[in-house]
Structure 1
Amino acid sequence: MTAVTPRQRRKDARPQELLDAALALFVEKGFAATRSEEIAARAGVAKGTLYRYYPSKDELFKAMVRENLSVHIAESAAQAAQHQGAIAPLLQQMMRAWWAKVGVGRAGTVCKIMMVEARNFPELARFYVDEVIRPSQAFIGELVTRGIQAGEFRAVPLEATVHLLIAPMLHLMLHEHSFGEHASCCGSTSAETLLDAQMAVLLHGLLAMPPRT
């Protein structure tokens, strides 16, 4: 068995080091104001090394989106597809899991950067729509559809309901990564408690009521 040298280990770790450096700079300066040479310098490599892994700043950001968001969407969709039973508790579980994976931490930071910068970078915005927004909407829409078909949910307008489920998450995410600990959008209430309250209100609106006797 061939031993892995420190040089090889560093080479294998370099894509992640570049992504980490880029994310830190995007948070500090914004995507538009960050230059490729600054990313390379933060990662401790030459600009040519950066381009060897990521031919442009746009490609670097796309890799960041795939690593921090796309993978979680695919995992959640696969998990939901295997679920047997009531949809309401699954939907609530998925929303909480999504917050834990994406709402806090670096994935939420990537979302916030895209929301702030999207208007100035239409090609990246289209990529984000195809890679994150549409798959997320399709995933949530599939859960609601399954609930309707099973008679568990009322026949609600699907597209509007999907937006109602996603919108509070985006609001919390933007607040978390804009103000952080400096201000709270919900007082002393945790984000998890707020999401549980949102789901309780929405689920009571979704659930099919038994016919009156």
Structure 2
Amino acid sequence: MAKAKPAKKTSAGSGQIRLIGGQWRGRKLPVLDSEGLRPTTDRVKETLFNWLMFDVRGGRCLDLFAGSGSLGFEALSRGAAEVVLVEKDARVAQQLQRNLASLPAASGRVVNTDALGFLQGTATPFDLVFLDPPFHRELLPAACQQLEQGGWLSEDAKIYIEREQNAETLPLPPTWRLLKDKQAGQVSYQLYTRTQVE
């Protein structure tokens, strides 16, 4: 979904992602061979959307470091009311737009801009946010703080974070509570929910 190591073959094969659930289950979408593109694997994606079984349908979702769009498109397939995919690379964003257009009546939008720059704009709250930035670039701390402080999260939003294993402790807003935490290969991934601080 985001960028890091050279693109590797997933169970969907090199150069494409596969939607694993919902109305477009089994649909394969092409992915550009862009340096560092690292789609979320089907194994991790299946675990994540099992966690989110009751949180996707009807929700507004933000795929902040979209890359292949694997998570954002999966959310659309599973009934998200709207998905915004933010991608800095113009070529990758164009492919996301083509893939979005190939999904009938999909309520999504591709924004070709830098993720942290996007968060400096006018906020509309999201119910679910996917954070899968390029590895080893320390983008998460600023993104997490801007999401919380900028009004981008609904009252009980869910936030998914995917990052390199053995990374330094991530400073998170005090309103975020850890729900799930797993590792797969070189990847560590967590699901948080936003709560009210006592």
Q: State the TM-score, normalized to the length of structure 1.
A: 0.27
Q: State the TM-score, normalized to the length of structure 2.
A: 0.28
The structure carrying a bigger helix percent of its residues is 1
Higher relative contact order (CA 8 A, sep 6+): 1
